[in-house]
Amino acid sequence: MARRLNSVSGFLLLAILWEVAPRLGLADRQFFPPLSRLLVELFSLAATQEFWGYLLSTARTWAIGLVVATAAGVIAGLAIGLVPGARTYTHSTIEFLRPIPSVALIPGVILIFGSRYQSGVVLITYAAFWQVLLQMLYGLNDIDAVARDTARSFRFSRTGFIVHVAWPTLLPFLFTGIRLAASIALVLAVTAEMVIGTYGIGRGIVVAQTSNAIPTMYALVIVTGLMGVGINVAARGIEQRLLRWHPSVRNTAAI
């Protein structure tokens, strides 16, 4: 009980501060509306169709980008990790391409797709792809030598090796990659909407700010935060559930 109280105390303190400080004039009320005002705004937003349009549009870009990036990362990871020598030759190229900020692609996608949602998908795919690929490569490095040798002794075919030996080792790594990719994908979905002007929450925030609708702006920022928390929680939940058999998850559950 005390523990539970402890874990909500931070939120409570923040909520009280956010409510009281603007009312007492400690913070400029115009720029920092009290929390209750934001919550009211949030609820009235939730009643509008526009808000759900924003939300669905952002979620769609996010989901498509994440799926494409994951598929590309898995295929590229298997190809680079399992073809002998491929890793040595691609190493420098990967190390060169990876630090290139995904936002460098923004002007390019504007030229090709304009403000359609595909712009966001391309940005997400580029940024999230590396997360999945790197985790795949870590995972393939981690395959147990005994398991590998056993598979060889039993003359597993290449597909047999992938399905029975590589894949189970890979899964936890892949999930870590997808989890990281999922939150990065949200960042880039919102970025695309803000900078390129694709329809979605990001554009809603910019529109609210330029039209001086400050409570709306804050409410939408809070929504993006809630989406982020939702994605994190869901990803961790799915990971725990699907990898229940895996030692890394079993151990944390036992503690």
Partner 1 sequence: MVRTTGKILHRLAIELVLPLALFGLLLAVSANSTNFYFPPLARVLERFDALWLGPRFVTDVLPSLGRLIAGYAIACLAGVVIGVPLGMFAALRRAAEPVLEFFRAIPPPALIPVLVMLAGFGDTMKVAVIVTGAIWPILLNTVEGVKGADSVLDETCRTYQIRGMSRLWNFVLPSASPQIVVGMRVGLSIGIILMVISEMFAATTGLGAAIIVFQRSFEIPEMWSGVLMLGLFGFALSVVFRLFERRALKWYYGMRDLERRS
- Residues within the interface to partner 1 (CB under 8 A): 3, 6-11, 13-14, 31, 88-93, 96, 98-108, 110-112, 183, 186-187, 189-191, 194-195, 201-202, 205-206, 208-209, 214, 217-218, 220-222, 224-229, 231-232
Smallest gap from Cβ 32 to partner 1, in A, equals 9
The CB density around residue 1, as the number of other CB atoms within 10 Å, is: 5
Burial class (CB in 10 A: 0-12, 13-18, 19+), 219: buried
Q: Which is nearer to partner 1, 151 or 223 (CB)?
A: 223
Q: Which is nearer to partner 1, 3 or 241 (CB)?
A: 3
Q: What is the distance between the alpha carbons of residues 239 and 233, in angstroms, rounded to a whole number?
A: 10
Torsion of the alpha carbons at 104, 109, 110 and 111, rounded to the nearest 10: 110
Smallest gap from Cβ 2 to partner 1, in A, equals 10
Q: Which is nearer to partner 1, 163 or 233 (CB)?
A: 233
Smallest gap from Cβ 27 to partner 1, in A, equals 11
Asked whether 90 and 80 are in contact (CB, 8 A), the reply is yes
Smallest gap from Cβ 157 to partner 1, in A, equals 29
Q: Which is nearer to partner 1, 72 or 162 (CB)?
A: 72
Q: Which is nearer to partner 1, 110 or 243 (CB)?
A: 110
Q: What is the distance between the alpha carbons of residues 177 and 179, in angstroms, rounded to a whole number?
A: 5
Smallest gap from Cβ 208 to partner 1, in A, equals 7
DSSP per-residue letters across 176-225:
HHHHHHHHHHHHHHHHHHHHT--SSHHHHHHHHHHTT-HHHHHHHHHHHH
- Interhelix angle for 49-82 vs 86-97, to 10°? 150
